Amino acid sequence: YLATSYKYELLKKQLDVDKQFEYDHQFLQEETPLHEAEEIYYPPQKLKNQAFIRSIAHYSELYRQSMEEPNKFWKSVAKELHFEKWSDKGLEYNFDHRKGEIFVKFMEGAKTNMAYNCLERNIQKGLGSKIAYIWEGNEPGDQMTITYQELLNQVVKFAEVLRTKGVKKGDVDHSVDSVIMLEHLKRVRKPQGATPPEVKINEKIDSFWHIEMEEASSKNLQASKIEWNDSEDPLFILYTSGSTGTPKGLVHTTTGYMTYAYEAVKTIFDTKSDDVFWCTADIGWITGHTFVVYGPLLNGLTTMILEGLPNYPDGSRVTKLYTAPTAVRSLMACPDEMVTKHSRDSLKIIGVAGEPTNPGAWRWLHRLVGEEKCAIVDTYWQTETGGPMLTPFPGATPTKPGSATNPFFGVDPVLVDDKGDLLRGETEGNLCFARAWPGMARTIWGDHSRFIKTYFSTYPGLYFTGDGARRDHDSYYWVTGRVDDNMNVAGHLLSTSEIESVIVLHPDVVESAVVAVSHPSKGHVPYAFVILRNGKTLTQKLIDEIKQIVREKIGPFAAPYVIHESSGLPKTRSGKITRRILRIIAEGDHKANLGDTSTLLDEAVIEEMWKKRPDFK
Ligand code: WT7
């Protein structure tokens, strides 16, 4: 019994740590070339020379330290930040609910403050007059910049507004009489003379940002009063839409998240003082939190925020760009000149996150956007993880299109089968993490048992991501998507993203989403939604060609049974396709409850999809 239980395997792994390293990370020897027949892109020499992490051997050494002495590793990162009071504690956790409560803590008892680390700490280092944010409106010329010092001044004033309203540390739940109407500074005032958008104002409880801030200004505040927080004080709660059930409010805490976000932005985007960083994420989501707000400010960067479309009018002043594969695919539909007419000389690193990047989109970024001189970093992570878990380093990691490559520092990825048995070597299975990392969410707000049930009960002792992944012969990880999205067709387990990647190989197809749909005689069959390139229509010839590509590249069983043309897909604001809605449409279940659609970017597309649904059953 013991021999097959992963607990035993884990134990063995613990004892055998050196051997395991040798085995899992053979590729880490600089001299060992990666598999030759494969498509591999080596880090651009220019980046390599000045990067924080400049070779695979260097990564390997740092990774080894982070695994063997996690406390030493993470506390030396934390040392670069400001702590009012240090702690002698490190990373403490329990992932096994059979041994007691599930918990994670990092540097408990230390006192610090996130805003202080983002602002005052950098200003003391001389960055006061450096631009923190460049805000661009959708219209060219509609621009605003704010320096680190100006941002601090606003923060100090706003903190005073909150204090005046009686908001105290620990209230993360505001009382009704302290609601503040956040007027969008520029959008409302510009263009000159424009009327602000209609909003319902409740005179008793609502107040205006600019009026409150003016009042605070008149108080002539000298310096900020800093609230020192404990390491494990909650920093923010982010709700993930969740494909079923009510949204989960994931709680991130102060020191662990701060340390992880700082290190991730620094090393994955290899931050330099003259960088202009642009992460296209909405700041209301984890990518925006880590890569627009906290991570860039902690690193003293200049960050661009665009309120508008990423392809309008251009982004040529940016040095490091971070976006979603879905955005890449929609840009690919535009003629090449849209990209080539603008200089991309400044661009050095292009990051992608949020879903598997199909190799076609990857190559488009590399060849056309990056002119083969940029590193492409495909970063795998989740709202729950706080920061990237699998990622290349731009100056060190040879990349393969479609793979998020290797673990970030302190991250211990494992693949298990459905019974929870550990899978070794080249394999495919359920992606889990075998130990804690500082940036992970600590709980689901108000529902710790749901936190345990969702992440720690499927494979006791492991954090389960809900994703499937493949590990190749170089120990590279290829995330195949949510295991719930996998489908079983005629005994073959297929990942929807794999079929989607193949469908978009067809030159007329811009984007595709595949779901499993029940069939009266065949069990389940793949049902493909496709978005076509401008001007193309879905002819029988095109349908046959699409099916043929899938037959050739994967196998006859994977060929979509139905192809459904659409002008768009229902997506969340983080760019994720809401497959539960697609499944309902594919099933033709008009009576089904679409669930919570409040996080969708464009609800109108659902109506259109119903209209265009081919009748196949
Ligand atoms: C899910 C998490 C990027 C973090 C913000 C989104 C999928 C994320 C990748 C990637 C393949 C990816 C996974 C994951 N995912 N990054 N590089 N390759 N899949 O956070 O909304 O919580 O979504 O996004 O399925 O579980 P999220």
- Atom number in ligand 1 closest to CA 404: 17
CB distance 495 to ligand 1 below 6 Å: no
The residue that leads in pLDDT, 109 or 319, is: 109
* CA of residue 163 to ligand 1 center, whole Å: 37
CB distance 469 to ligand 1 below 6 Å: no
φ, ψ at 245 (rounded to 5°) = 75, -175
ipTM over cut 0.95: yes
Closest CA to 139 of 192, 196, 182, 183: 192
The residue that leads in pLDDT, 502 or 181, is: 502
- Atom number in ligand 1 closest to CA 576: 21
CB distance 498 to ligand 1 below 6 Å: no
CB distance 383 to ligand 1 below 6 Å: yes
Answer whether residue 164 shows pLDDT above 50: yes
φ, ψ at 378 (rounded to 5°) = -95, 110
Amino acid 126 reads G
* Residue to mutate (ligand 1; options 378, 382, 405; most atoms within 8 A of CB): 382
CB distance 379 to ligand 1 below 6 Å: yes
The span from the CA of 294 to the CA of 300, in Å, is 10
Q: Tell me: the pLDDT tens digits for 301-346? A: 999 998 765 555 554 568 899 998 888 887 887 888 888 988 899 9
234-240 sheet: strands from edge to edge: 234-240, 248-253, 443-444
Answer whether residue 198 shows pLDDT above 90: no
CB distance 501 to ligand 1 below 6 Å: no
Average pLDDT of 1-21?
37
Q: How confident is the model at residue 216 (pLDDT cuts 50, 70, 90)?
A: confident
Arithmetic mean of pLDDT over the chain: 85
Predicted confidence at residue 185, as pLDDT, reads 37
The token duo for 571 is 């997506």
Predicted confidence at residue 468, as pLDDT, reads 94
Average pLDDT of 113-122?
98
Name the residue with tokens 């995330």: 479
Answer whether residue 89 shows pLDDT above 50: yes
Residue positions counted in the chain: 617
The 3-class SS string of 355-403 reads CCCCHHHHHHHHHHHCCCCCEEEEEECCHHHCCCCECCCCCCCCECCCC
Closest CA to 511 of 356, 401, 373, 389: 356
CB distance 467 to ligand 1 below 6 Å: yes
Name the residue with tokens 């500082």: 438
Radius of gyration of the chain (CA): 25
CB distance 240 to ligand 1 below 6 Å: yes
Neighbours of 69 (CB within 10 A): 13
The span from the CA of 393 to the CA of 263, in Å, is 12
Predicted confidence at residue 25, as pLDDT, reads 43
Predicted confidence at residue 416, as pLDDT, reads 96
Q: Tell me: the pLDDT tens digits for 407-457? A: 999 999 999 999 999 999 999 999 999 999 999 999 999 999 999 999 999
* CA of residue 82 to ligand 1 center, whole Å: 31
The span from the CA of 562 to the CA of 542, in Å, is 12
Predicted confidence at residue 230, as pLDDT, reads 97
Alpha carbons within 13 angstroms on the beta-carbon side of residue 2 total: 3
- Judge contact between 609 and 585, C-beta under 8 A: yes
Q: Which residues contact 363 (CB under 8 A, 6 or more apart)?
A: 401
Answer whether residue 542 shows pLDDT above 90: yes
* CA of residue 386 to ligand 1 center, whole Å: 11
* Residue to mutate (ligand 1; options 381, 464, 467, 601; most atoms within 8 A of CB): 381
- Judge contact between 428 and 468, C-beta under 8 A: yes
* CA of residue 357 to ligand 1 center, whole Å: 11
The span from the CA of 478 to the CA of 428, in Å, is 9
CB distance 480 to ligand 1 below 6 Å: no
The residue that leads in pLDDT, 334 or 10, is: 334
Name the residue with tokens 């693949």: 415
Predicted confidence at residue 200, as pLDDT, reads 66
The string of DSSP codes covering 279-335 is E-S-TTSHHHIIIIIIHHHHTT-EEEEESS-TTSS--TT-SEEEE-HHHHHHHHTS-
Peptide bond between residue 460 and the one before it cis (omega within 30 degrees of 0): no
Answer whether residue 24 shows pLDDT above 70: no
Predicted confidence at residue 223, as pLDDT, reads 64
CB distance 582 to ligand 1 below 6 Å: no
CB distance 482 to ligand 1 below 6 Å: yes
The residue that leads in pLDDT, 3 or 562, is: 562
- Judge contact between 431 and 465, C-beta under 8 A: yes
* CA of residue 21 to ligand 1 center, whole Å: 26
Predicted confidence at residue 367, as pLDDT, reads 95
Average pLDDT of 10-14?
41
CA torsion, ordered 365, 367, 371, 374, to nearest 10 deg: 50
* CA of residue 134 to ligand 1 center, whole Å: 27
CB distance 353 to ligand 1 below 6 Å: yes
Give, using CA atoms, the residue closest to atom 14 of ligand 1.
Answer: 382
Predicted confidence at residue 482, as pLDDT, reads 85
φ, ψ at 482 (rounded to 5°) = -60, 135
- Atom number in ligand 1 closest to CA 384: 22
Average pLDDT of 344-360?
92
Amino acid 93 reads Y
* CA of residue 383 to ligand 1 center, whole Å: 8
Most confident of 77-91, 246-260, 511-525: 77-91
CB distance 355 to ligand 1 below 6 Å: yes
Name the residue with tokens 């978009």: 504
Q: Tell me: the pLDDT tens digits for 90-99? A: 999 999 999 9
Give, using CA atoms, the residue closest to atom 7 of ligand 1.
Answer: 355
* CA of residue 101 to ligand 1 center, whole Å: 27
φ, ψ at 240 (rounded to 5°) = -95, 145
* CA of residue 287 to ligand 1 center, whole Å: 10
Give, using CA atoms, the residue closest to atom 1 of ligand 1.
Answer: 382
CB distance 358 to ligand 1 below 6 Å: no
Answer whether residue 32 shows pLDDT above 70: no
Q: How confident is the model at residue 544 (pLDDT cuts 50, 70, 90)?
A: very high
The span from the CA of 434 to the CA of 552, in Å, is 38
* CA of residue 353 to ligand 1 center, whole Å: 6
* CA of residue 467 to ligand 1 center, whole Å: 9
The token duo for 486 is 């996998």
- Judge contact between 309 and 139, C-beta under 8 A: no
Predicted confidence at residue 75, as pLDDT, reads 98
Predicted confidence at residue 211, as pLDDT, reads 81
Name the 3-class secondary structure at 515.
Answer: strand
Pick from 151-165, 305-319, 348-362, 368-382: least confident: 305-319
* CA of residue 354 to ligand 1 center, whole Å: 4
Neighbours of 365 (CB within 10 A): 25
Q: Which residues contact 69 (CB under 8 A, 6 or more apart)?
A: none
- In angstroms, the first-to-last Cα distance of the chain is 47
Give, using CA atoms, the residue closest to atom 27 of ligand 1.
Answer: 382
Give, using CA atoms, the residue closest to atom 3 of ligand 1.
Answer: 354
The token duo for 580 is 């539960």
Predicted confidence at residue 599, as pLDDT, reads 66
Answer whether residue 31 shows pLDDT above 50: no
Average pLDDT of 174-178?
50
CB distance 572 to ligand 1 below 6 Å: no
The string of DSSP codes covering 163-182 is HHTT--TT-----GGG--B-
Q: How confident is the model at residue 29 (pLDDT cuts 50, 70, 90)?
A: very low
Q: Tell me: the pLDDT tens digits for 44-83? A: 998 998 999 999 999 999 999 999 999 999 999 999 999 9
Q: pTM (2 decimals)? A: 0.83
The span from the CA of 541 to the CA of 538, in Å, is 8
Closest CA to 256 of 354, 379, 353, 387: 387
- Atom number in ligand 1 closest to CA 482: 25
* CA of residue 358 to ligand 1 center, whole Å: 14
Average pLDDT of 553-557?
88
CB distance 287 to ligand 1 below 6 Å: yes
In 520-571, beta strands by DSSP E: 523-532, 562-565
- Judge contact between 589 and 515, C-beta under 8 A: no
